[in-house]
Structure 1
Amino acid sequence: MPDPSCSFYVTTPIYYVNARPHIGHAYTTIVADVLARRARAQGTPTWFLTGTDEHGQKIERSALAAGIPPQTFTDQVSASFRDLWKRMGITNDQYIRTTDEAHKKGVQKLFADLHAKGQIYLSTYTGQYSIGEEMFVEGPPGTIGPDGKPTETVTEENFFFRLSDYQLPLLNLIESDTLKITPEARKNEVLSFLRGNTSGAPGPDSGTWVSTDLKQSAKGILYLPGALKDLSVSRSSFTWGIPVPEPAASEAKEKHVIYVWLDALANYITALGYGSDDTTQFEKFWPADIHLVGKEIIRFHCVYWPAFLLAAGLDLPKAVTAHGWLLFDDSKMSKSKGNIVRTETILDAFGTLLPPPAALTSDALALGIRGGLQPPVNGTENEGALAPGSPTPPPEPTKQDQDLFAADVLRYFLLREIPFGQDGSFTFEALITRYNADLANGYGNLVSRTLNMIHKYFDGVVPPSWVSSNSVVLESSVKESQLFDRFVNDNSSGTWVTRLPSEAVALSLAVGRNTQLLRFNKALEACSELIRLLDSDLTSKAPWKVIVGLSDDEMQEKRASVLYTAAESIRIITALLHPILPYATAKVWHQLGLGDIELAAANGELKNLTWGGLQPGTKLGPLSPIFPRADKGLAQTMSDMEQEKSKAPVSNAPVSKLVDEKFNASPETPQDPTHPGAPPRAFGEATTVAGSNAHSTERPGTPPHAEAASGIFSAPFMPESNPGMSGSTPAAGPADASPQITIDDFAKIELRVAQILVCERIPKADKLLRLEVDLGYEKRQILSGIAEWYTPEDLIGRRIVVITNLAPRKMRGLESHGMLLAASTEGGKPHLATFAGADDLPLGSRLK
Structure 2
Amino acid sequence: MAAAEKPRYYVTTPIYYVNDAPHIGHAYTTLACDVLARFKRLDGYDVKFLTGTDEHGQKVEKSAMARGIAPQEFTDQVSQNFRDLAAAMGYSNDDFIRTTEERHRKACQALWQTLIERDEIYLGAYKGWYAVRDEAFYGEGELKDGPNGEKLAPTGAPVEWVEEPSYFFRLSKWQQPLLDFYEQNPDFIAPDSRRNEVISFVKGGLNDLSVSRTTFSWGVPVPGDDAHIMYVWLDALTNYITACGYPDQSAADYQAYWPASLHMVGKDILRFHAVYWPAFLMAANLPTPQRVFAHGWWTNEGQKISKSLGNVISPYELVNRYGLDQTRYFLLREVPFGNDGDFSHQAMINRMNSELANDLGNLAQRVLSMVNKNCDAAVPTPGPLTEHDLALLTPARDLLATVRAALDRQAFHDALESIWVVVRAANAYVDHQAPWALRKTDIDRMGTVLWVLMETVRHVALLMQTVVPTSAGLMLDQLAVPADQRSFEFWGEAGALKAGTALPKPQGVFPRYVEESQGA
Please say whether Structure 1 and Structure 2 have the same fold, judged by a TM-score greater than 0.5.
yes
1:452 is aligned to 2:344: no
1:575 is aligned to 2:462: yes
Partner of 1:100: 101
Q: State how far apart, in whole Å, the 2-side matches of 1:146 and 1:562 are.
A: 60
CA RMSD of aligned residues (A): 2.3
1:343 is aligned to 2:315: yes
1:9 is aligned to 2:10: yes
2:381–2:500 contact (8 Å) kept in structure 1 = yes
**Which of 208, 218, 230 is 2:208 aligned to?**
230
Q: State how far apart, in whole Å, the 1-side matches of 2:45 and 2:368 are.
A: 33
| Equivalent residues, number | 510
Partner of 1:741: none
By how many angstroms is 1:636 displaced?
A: 13
2:438–2:445 contact (8 Å) kept in structure 1 = no
Q: State how far apart, in whole Å, the 1-side matches of 2:110 and 2:84 are.
A: 31
Partner of 2:176: 168
Partner of 1:595: 482
2:44–2:489 contact (8 Å) kept in structure 1 = no
Q: State how far apart, in whole Å, the 1-side matches of 2:508 and 2:389 are.
A: 31
One-letter code aligned to 1:433: N
Partner of 1:629: 512
Partner of 1:561: 448
SS at match of 1:584: helix
Residue 155 and residue 613 in structure 1: after superposition, are their counterparts in 2 closer, same or farther (change >3 A)? Answer: same
By how many angstroms is 1:622 displaced?
A: 3.8
By how many angstroms is 1:497 displaced?
A: 10
Partner of 1:312: 284
Residue 179 and residue 243 in structure 1: after superposition, are their counterparts in 2 closer, same or farther (change >3 A)? Answer: farther
Partner of 2:327: 410
TM norm structure 1: 0.58
Partner of 1:755: none
1:508–1:609 contact (8 Å) kept in structure 2 = no
By how many angstroms is 1:611 displaced?
A: 7.5
Q: State how far apart, in whole Å, the 2-side matches of 1:451 and 1:295 are.
A: 44
By how many angstroms is 1:329 displaced?
A: 3.0
Residue pairs, 1:8-407, within 5 angstroms: 8-139=9-140, 142-177=150-185, 180-196=188-204, 227-246=205-224, 249=225, 255-276=227-248, 279-350=251-322, 406-407=323-324
SS at match of 2:189: strand
By how many angstroms is 1:540 displaced?
A: 2.5
SS at match of 2:481: coil
One-letter code aligned to 1:340: V
By how many angstroms is 1:178 displaced?
A: 5.8
Residue 581 and residue 410 in structure 1: after superposition, are their counterparts in 2 closer, same or farther (change >3 A)? Answer: same
By how many angstroms is 1:562 displaced?
A: 1.1
By how many angstroms is 1:623 displaced?
A: 2.3
- Where in structure 2 are there 5+ consecutive unaligned residues? 144-148
Residue 4 and residue 42 in structure 1: after superposition, are their counterparts in 2 closer, same or farther (change >3 A)? Answer: farther
After alignment, is 508-517 or 50-59 more displaced? Answer: 508-517
Q: State how far apart, in whole Å, the 1-side matches of 2:453 and 2:414 are.
A: 22
1:613 is aligned to 2:505: no
- Where in structure 1 are there 5+ consecutive unaligned residues? 197-226, 351-405, 473-495, 638-848
One-letter code aligned to 1:524: L
One-letter code aligned to 2:33: A
Residue 590 and residue 547 in structure 1: after superposition, are their counterparts in 2 closer, same or farther (change >3 A)? Answer: closer
TM norm structure 2: 0.93
Q: State how far apart, in whole Å, the 1-side matches of 2:115 and 2:221 are.
A: 15
Partner of 2:146: none
Partner of 1:508: 400
Q: State how far apart, in whole Å, the 2-side matches of 1:112 and 1:499 are.
A: 62
- Render the CA deviation track for 1:470-498: whole Å, top value 9, x for unaligned: x89xxxxxxxxxxxxxxxxxxxxxxx997
- Render the CA deviation track for 1:249-279: whole Å, top value 9, x for unaligned: 1xxxx71110000000000000111025972
Q: State how far apart, in whole Å, the 1-side matches of 2:389 and 2:376 are.
A: 33
Residue 547 and residue 74 in structure 1: after superposition, are their counterparts in 2 closer, same or farther (change >3 A)? Answer: closer
Partner of 1:425: 342
Q: State how far apart, in whole Å, the 1-side matches of 2:449 and 2:43 are.
A: 30
- Render the CA deviation track for 1:134-170: whole Å, top value 9, x for unaligned: 1111228942024424311111000100001100000
SS at match of 1:256: strand
- Render the CA deviation track for 1:320-342: whole Å, top value 9, x for unaligned: 11101111132332323322100
By how many angstroms is 1:457 displaced?
A: 0.5
SS at match of 1:168: helix
Q: State how far apart, in whole Å, the 2-side matches of 1:540 and 1:67 are.
A: 69
1:455–1:461 contact (8 Å) kept in structure 2 = yes
1:301–1:320 contact (8 Å) kept in structure 2 = yes
- Render the CA deviation track for 1:552-582: whole Å, top value 9, x for unaligned: xxx3212101101100111111112111111
By how many angstroms is 1:531 displaced?
A: 1.3
Q: State how far apart, in whole Å, the 1-side matches of 2:240 and 2:282 are.
A: 15
Rg larger in 1 or in 2?
1
Residue 619 and residue 547 in structure 1: after superposition, are their counterparts in 2 closer, same or farther (change >3 A)? Answer: closer
Residue 510 and residue 458 in structure 1: after superposition, are their counterparts in 2 closer, same or farther (change >3 A)? Answer: same
Residue 147 and residue 326 in structure 1: after superposition, are their counterparts in 2 closer, same or farther (change >3 A)? Answer: same
By how many angstroms is 1:76 displaced?
A: 1.3
Q: State how far apart, in whole Å, the 2-side matches of 1:169 and 1:287 are.
A: 18
By how many angstroms is 1:52 displaced?
A: 0.6
By how many angstroms is 1:547 displaced?
A: 7.1
By how many angstroms is 1:125 displaced?
A: 1.4
